Structure 1
Amino acid sequence: MTDDRVESIGRQAGSGLRWSLLGNTVTKAASFVMSLVLARLLATEDFGVYAVALAATQFVMVVKDAGVMAAVIQWRGRISDIAPTATVLAFLFATGLYALFWVGAPYFSALAGSEQATGVVRLLTAVILVEAVTAVRSAVLMREFAQDKLAAANLAGFAVNAGVAISLAAAGAGAYSFACGQLGGVIVTGAIIVLLARMPWRIGFDRAIAARLLRFGLPSALGFGLEAVLMNSSFVVVGAILGEEQLGYYLLAFNVSSWVPGMIGTALRYVSLPGFSRLAEDQDSLSEGVRRSVPLLVSFVMPVALVMATLAHPLVTVLYEPRWDPAAPVLSFLAVLMVVRMITSYLVTDILISTGATRSTVWLNLGWALALLPALIAGAHFGGIRGAAIGHAAAAVLVALPLGLLLLRRQGVRLRAVLPGLVRPALASVVMYLYMTSFAAVFEGPALLELLLVGGSGLLVFALPATPPAVLSRLTRQGRAHVRL
């Protein structure tokens, strides 16, 4: 019965994930092209100012609704009973939070070493006002695995974002081009979500329902808020210690390392929260879902991380021009952080929330933060932006990952069953790393050719030992059948 339940939910989640991946892939590919254009139109300092505003925005984005959105996804009863109260809670909390950030923007910008970022912070954080209005409707679409509708809304919003941002950057608007583009895109996305969700607008407030939502949502929001602090605290530390120019290089490397979490992680969260929430109703089903999910995630993330780490210099040179090469040493270590982020932030956290253990996400991110901040400060002082990246990676591997696994075990998730599925990707990672470092050390040629030859062959070296023989045999038979046709 457990296998049937896992298969049923897996099919729904798989369909949603395909749509989510398609939408995210197109959006991230277009976002990458946009970043290439903006990197040529804007100065390094503009990226530094934007990094300060982005740090503030990414924090408010995850706590904007007091966890109401996660609570709606996990809710066991009828959504129509809680929608009016949930909508009011989300909007009131977001409005109060925005007021605090409006007042505190000058102090936050000064702390990050970029006082001129105040206006950009105030403009960019305004996106939470739109997101608060659509939070419940987005949660309902995620709960129903209607990722096709969310993908359509996000793609339309990105088209507006790109058009506004590039136009303003060409006109000399500097860091404001980022903020105006994102705000315009969020407004369009929100309007489409409201139309597609087809939920009647009912405003009301039930104290009992509000208390239940907040008991679940507030710890969840605090956990996500700490996660956002973790991922963006390095911008504040680097900006305050090393200045805007070095922060610009650091931001570029961090953005590259966030490609996979941004594309795959965001798509995964759209389905993992509702999927694990349903599996969590049965402990055996949840453990089986984890057993199947972890090896697949690791098998996808590890080869990408190894390419980023070993070919950071040609990657940055080809994509962003040689003047951005100081970002390459940073990227090599942030690739390690990327792997841990995918496991802890997009898998462990979602599983803990789905079981109702929202307080555990607070302890996970709090423990990570306590280790991270001194590591970042020491790293930036002694090793510049490269040292900050080393500190970020060390805290992730030595503290966050073990702590996350410990918290999963405390929730009764059987992790020992996951280990056999990790043997192949682990061995394949070692083989790929040794191969690529050896090949890159003797390779002489243009950076683009190095990326194609060393990176492409490295991915193949990983795929061969990582893929089970039965799967390889089936793929071989299918390939032969296509050749005969």
Structure 2
Amino acid sequence: MSLGQSIRSSSKWLVGSALAGQGLQFAIGIVLARLLVPADFGMLVTVQMFTGFVGLVASGGLGQALIRARDATERDFQVVFTTQIGIGVAIYLVFFLIAPWFADWFGQLLYRELLRVSALTFLIRPFQNLHNIWLQRHMRFRELSRLGVLTAFIAGCSSVAMAAGGFGVWSLVLSGLLGGTLSALIVSRLTPLRARLLFDATIVRQHSAFGLKMTGNDLVGYLSSQTSNFIVTKMGGPVMVGLFNKGDSLAKLPFNIISAQIYAPIFRAMSAEQDSADRIHYLFHRAISLLLLYTLPLYLGLAWLAEPLIVTLYGQKWADAAIPLEILAPLGLLYCIGHPAGAVLGATNRAGREALVQTAAWGVVAIGCLIGVSHGLAGVAIAIAVSQLYSTSHMYLLARKAVGARTRELLRTAAPALLLNALMLVALWSVERLLPADMPKSSPVLYLMASAGAGGLVYCAGFLLMPARFFGDESLRWRRMLRIGR
């Protein structure tokens, strides 16, 4: 199988499973939002800010290093597993000891036990990583995809059952641990590896050089993305962070379903071609064009239909979550450029430069959120938008230099998808003008159906009927599948 076919095959499985998994989680999320209150989600987000940050440290970037490495033996995998489990045990003990202080600092006694129980994931994760890394290195994304959907289904059903039984925030925490445990047990049967303790300082040093760069980059990026939640939690409380996180998570839904899923095969493919700037140059622009084509209309649609969508799905108590959704969803245009740029920098061993960009972006978002939180959810969302605009611009410049690209190539790559999305926005605007002015509030379901139907129809028709040269083989592939034209 050629590299291109391998990327497409892997991406299909990952995106397909993400669509199924995210669709399942989306449906479960609607049920949970009606069973629980924003404060329950807010407390979970607060705990996950800290466990997620330390989780990046626990991995040490060694997994990414193994995926990128030209050669990796079973001994390499066992040493990485041993290192990660040692770090995981140490981290759990630290979280267990600081839990009372954590609860006092946030003024919520429940945080003590929430943190201690949530931290158990650090004892489970190394057993998952050992096999997940092997499957990614061998581009066996079909197995990973099926596993993700299965565990999401079981964890989701358990969370709904516990929420209905009155477990509150614990329904979210315990179901997550259940999903992680099941994933670790099942994935262990999918590879020839068996977990065993083995340490070799030479191997750790060998992979650490690249791994630490990736970890530093991931840490700074994580801090930048979570700073807003931290500031909102501390200054606005669990309810405000619950509302903000709901809007933010919806705004990133297309990213989680599509963009995040194709990163692994793209990164692996670029790493395989790390000595060929021309091939990485092609993969870079190809990824941007496809992400713009398949995800940008989703981002723009979420922003346009934010308020009626939120109220219809989650109920009136979540209505304010539409404020950050309207502001953050259009940032999808930047994700379509920044995410492939990050893959280029990682594959060409320039992750350290990306970390500098993320550090600067972190400063921008921190200062912006401290100023914006006094203006409510909109102020925080605007601060994030400014930070994302800076980081994407800088990341693109670094990636462009790495592969010898020019800005006009980006404009040529993006122009067809931007034109198509402009046509969709005109259709949405026309529908809004034709329908009664009070329809978004009086009949939100009908309004959503009319707007989504018109916008989707115009977008699909434009994609299939515009000259084939605009979208190349992607348009032709769909025409053949639908038997349109010759």
State the TM-score, normalizing by the size of structure 2: 0.91
2:457 corresponds to which of 450, 457, 460: 460
Contact 1:112 1:236 in 2 (8 A): no
Tell me the residue number matched to 1:428.
Answer: 420
Counterpart for residue 419 of structure 1: 411
Corresponding residue for 1:469?
Answer: 467
Please show how residues 279-298 of structure 1 align to structure 2 within 5 Å: 279-298=273-292
Equivalent position to 2:218, from 214, 224, 237: 224
CA-CA distance at 1:273 after TM superposition: 2.3
Q: Which residue of 2 aligns with 1:368?
A: 361
Contact residue 79 and residue 203 of structure 2 kept, 8 A: yes
Are the equivalent residues in 1 in contact too, given 2:296–2:332 (CA < 8 A)? no
CA offset digits 1:60-115 (Å, max 9, x no partner): 33332100110010011133241222111222223333333333445555666655
User: What does residue 440 of structure 1 align with?
Assistant: 432
Structure 1 residues 339, 127: closer, same or farther in 2, change over 3 A? Answer: farther
**Residue matched to 2:331:** 337
Contact 2:244 2:377 in 1 (8 A): yes
Q: Say whether the 8 Å CA contact 1:73–1:273 is kept in structure 2.
A: no
**Residue 188 of structure 1, CA deviation:** 0.4
Q: CA RMSD in A?
A: 2.4
Moved more, 260-269 or 145-154: 260-269
Aligned to 1:378: 371
Determine helix, strand or coil for the equivalent of 2:168. Answer: coil
Give yes or no for contact 1:34–1:162 (8 Å, CA) kept in 2. Answer: yes
Deviation at residue 175 of structure 1 after TM alignment: 0.8
Distance 1:115 1:226, change over 3 A: farther
| 3-state SS in 2 of match to 1:197 | coil
Give me the identity figure in percent.
22
Q: Which runs of 5+ in 2 are unaligned?
A: none
Alignment check: 8 A CA contact 2:128 2:183 kept: no
Q: Is the 8 A contact 1:90 1:133 kept in 2?
A: no
1:27 aligns with 2:17: no
Q: Cα gap change, 1:411/1:481 in structure 2, threshold over 3 Å: closer, same or farther?
A: closer
Which residue identity does 1:404 align to in structure 2?
A: M
Q: Per-residue displacement from partner, 1:300-352 (whole Å, max 9, x unpaired)?
A: 221111111111011111111122111112110110334434532x3222221
Determine the structure 2 residue equivalent to 1:263: 257
CA distance in 1, matches of 2:88, 2:477: 51
Compare 215-224 and 125-134 and name the one that shifted more.
125-134
Separation in 2, partners of 1:113, 1:256: 29
1:189 is displaced (CA, Å) by 0.5
1:8/1:473 CA distance change after superposition, 3 Å:
closer
Work out whether residues 49 and 116 of structure 1, in 8 Å CA contact, stay in contact via their aligned partners in 2.
no
Residue 267 of structure 1 and its aligned partner are, at CA, apart by 1.6
Which of 221, 239, 244 matches 2:238?
Answer: 244
Q: Distance in 2 between matches of 1:131 and 1:54?
A: 15
1:174 maps to which of 160, 165, 168: 168
Confirm whether residue 326 of structure 1 aligns to residue 323 of structure 2. Answer: no
Deviation readout 1:142-164 (Å, 9 max, x if unpaired): 11111111122222322331232
Contact 2:102–2:111 (CA under 8 A) maintained in structure 1: no
Supply the distance in 2 between the matched residues of 1:458 and 1:172 (Cα, whole angstroms).
40
2:123 alignment counterpart:
129
C-alpha change, 1:313 and 1:102, in structure 2 (3 Å) is same
User: 1:473 & 1:278 partners in 2: Cα distance?
Assistant: 28
Query: CA 1:474 to 1:37, structure 2 compared with 1: closer, same or farther past 3 Å?
Result: closer
Is 1:69 the counterpart of 2:69 in the alignment?
Answer: no
Show the counterpart of 1:402.
393
Supply the distance in 2 between the matched residues of 1:161 and 1:207 (Cα, whole angstroms).
Answer: 37
Q: Match for residue 447 of structure 2?
A: 450
**Which range is displaced more, 413-422 or 385-394?**
413-422
Match runs of 1:302-321 below 5 Å: 302-321=296-315
C-alpha deviation, 1:120, in angstroms: 1.9
Structure 2: which amino acid aligns with 1:456?
Answer: G
Instruction: Give the structure 2 partner of residue 272 of structure 1.
Output: 266
Q: Does the CA-based 8 Å contact 2:92-2:122 persist in structure 1?
A: yes
Out of 108-117 and 94-103, give the one that drifted further. Answer: 108-117
Question: Of 51, 58, 62, which aligns to 1:57?
Answer: 51
Closer/same/farther in 2, CA of residues 327 and 357 from structure 1, 3 Å limit: same
CA 1:106 to 1:436, structure 2 compared with 1: closer, same or farther past 3 Å? farther
The DSSP-based 3-state class of the residue aligned with 1:119 is: helix
User: Is the Cα contact below 8 Å between 2:288 and 2:336 reproduced in 1?
Assistant: no
**Residues 255 and 295, structure 2, Cα contact 8 Å, conserved in 1:** no
Supply the AA of the counterpart residue of 2:253. Answer: W
SS in 1 for 2:167: coil
Q: Distance in 2 between matches of 1:97 and 1:477?
A: 54
Verify the 8 A CA contact 1:109 1:116 in the aligned structure 2.
Answer: yes
